[in-house]
Chains A and B, each alone.
Chain A
Amino acid sequence: MTLDLIDLEQERAYPPRQSDFTKPFWDNLTRGIFTTTRCDSCNRPSFPPKPICPHCWTDQVSWIELEGAGTLYSKTTVHAGPAAFVRDLPYSVGIIDLDEGLRIAARIIGDVNIGDRVELVVLSYIDGPLYAAKRYTVRLTSSA
């Protein structure tokens, strides 16, 4: 599915670096598509995307698109943060178990509890994208 995009009129507080290998992830994310790598040999997905499968250490991996849906495993609200993030305080972060069997960490937006269904959204900052999770919204049609 294509992720909702939320426009933010500021720059990212601590921008991630990109490598030649991870650039497609960030490029796709800009367009609302959440991707990662999957091993051609053992078939297991990985996150973050990696040029080497962490499970069997082969370098035969392919890009796949993830649905961007999952379950909130845990969360917290940060009230005392690193200098770059003081502008955002308080903010929530959490751990999400994606339906494809991957655990990721991201910002959490809106009211959502542990065990709830969540979906990923793109935070479109001026200088590039990040992602967050919010309460899952049922869609009448799906483009996926």
Chain B
Amino acid sequence: MQHEAVTILGGAALPVGKLQGVSEVGTQQLEHEVLARLVVDALHDAGLDKTDVGSMVFTLPRPYTQQKYFATFMANYLRLPCDGLVMEVMGNGMTPALALQAAVDQVRLGRTKVALALGVNFETGTPAPEHMMSSMRATGDVDFHAPFGFTPISWYAMDAMRYIHEFGSSREDLASIAVKNRHHAIENPIAQFRKPMTLDDVLAQRPIVDPLGLFEVPGRGDGAVCLVIAREDIAKSTGRPYTRFRGEGFFHEGAHQISEVPNDMIAFEAARIAGARAFKAAGINPDDIDLAEIYAPCTIVEVLVSEALGFCPRGQGAKQATEGETAIGGRIPICTSGGLLSRGHPAYVTALYSYFELLEQLRGRGGPRQVKNAELGLACTELGNYNAAMVHIMEAVA
């Protein structure tokens, strides 16, 4: 790399849960208070001071957050003058990855040596049917998809139906992903769903979008994360372990949910290309990765991404998951945090939790879910039906 390397030096994350709503005594948790505390915690974790920070890139809060223009409100709340950008970014499920990338780029551009990638997603005060009236407008054409009642996860359900049709897979094989990720989440103190769960438990749930039942689609949650992005010389000067950006890749296929030119929808071309670019930039192969945090709102999505990134052969992702190859202790542990299904899915900050998990694992802080000798971690995020993907490869520096 020609420029000075960039690192994630520290972070703090709120346990995912249902936090929005008014208590019996009329109080409520407010987004800016929650996030301000995480900023302080994250800087403490990084071993830096307030005066080191020169840029803040926020994920856009949900429309249910009353405080508008949240980024500049927070600049005031924290009384933080910045030479680098202070802004909010939005890109649906990719929102948090874009915030992280923008913060990294601020450091690379030399606008600051330390930037924060942070955000808060509060949404559970709004019931799911109402929330879907908004989210269906993001995951489809308002005039040519929404009128039929496509929901965000209905597209993933159609991926699942197609996968079963093409590769002779089964709902049971796909559902094993949910069981595996729950097993991971049991050992993650910030995961939303930590109760032990069997395959029978998953299969017994009511249907949501065929062939997926309640435990094969994401629950709703609130969350907040702050990550400290620093130039490597700053990271080194702290004497603390950190993670270095080793490679990254992005691709948007120029389609929204479906391509009007028929293609292989479940090849997840954007993930394949973004992954290949990241591996090339890092000078490594998929085999070299020790763990991967994949943005997968439904079981099928984790399968398809594991294939697109080259962790599993085409059509074998679900089968290999049932054989334990993607579990902690397996060949390539995927979603050691519990993933979107069990760690939780506060959508506009979800991927920040993915990077936080890589940070913890690559610093050896995974506790009972620690991947042994974890040196290289991968995060993959998306928007739409994986119409765009962003891949980051991080390496441990002790």
Contact = CB atoms under 8 A, between A and B. Distances in A.
Interface in B128-179: 128-130, 132-133, 136, 140-151, 154, 157-162, 165
A104 interface: yes
Given A84-B133, A93-B148, A78 B209 contact: yes
Given A77-B207, A77-B209, A47 B260 contact: yes
A84 B150 CA distance: 12
A13 B150 CA distance: 12
Given A83-B129, A95-B258, A74 B161 contact: yes
Interface residues of A, number: 43
A76 interface: yes
B206 interface: yes
Interface bin, chain B = 35 or more
Contact of A85 (B149, B161, B262, B265): B149
A4 to B, nearest CB: 17
Interface in A1-25: 12-17, 22
B259 interface: yes
A46 B209 CA distance: 29
Given A105-B257, A114-B161, A97 B151 contact: no
B307 to A, nearest CB: 17
A139 interface: no
B151 A78 contact: yes
B210 interface: yes
B257 A73 contact: no
Contact of A14 (B147, B208, B258, B259): B147
A83 B142 CA distance: 15
B25 interface: no
A130 interface: yes
B262 A12 contact: no
Contact of A130 (B147, B160, B260): B147
A114 B366 CA distance: 43
Nearest to A79: B207
B161 A13 contact: no
Contacts of A93: 148-150, 154, 158
B261 interface: yes
Contacts of A48: 141, 143-144
Given A73-B265, A81-B132, A82-B136, A105 B147 contact: no
Given A83-B133, A93-B149, A93-B150, A103 B209 contact: no
Interface of B: 128-130, 132-133, 136, 140-151, 154, 157-162, 165, 206-211, 257-263, 265
Please list the 9 inter-chain residue pairs (A to B) with the smallest Cβ-Cβ separation, ordered nearest first. A82-B132, A76-B157, A16-B143, A74-B158, A85-B149, A83-B129, A74-B162, A77-B210, A114-B165
Given A47-B144, A79-B207, A105-B145, 9 more contacts: A74-B161, A76-B160, A76-B210, A77-B209, A78-B209, A82-B129, A105-B150, A106-B148, A114-B165
14 contacts: A14-B146, A17-B142, A74-B159, A74-B162, A76-B209, A77-B207, A79-B208, A79-B210, A81-B132, A81-B149, A82-B132, A101-B261, A106-B148, A114-B162
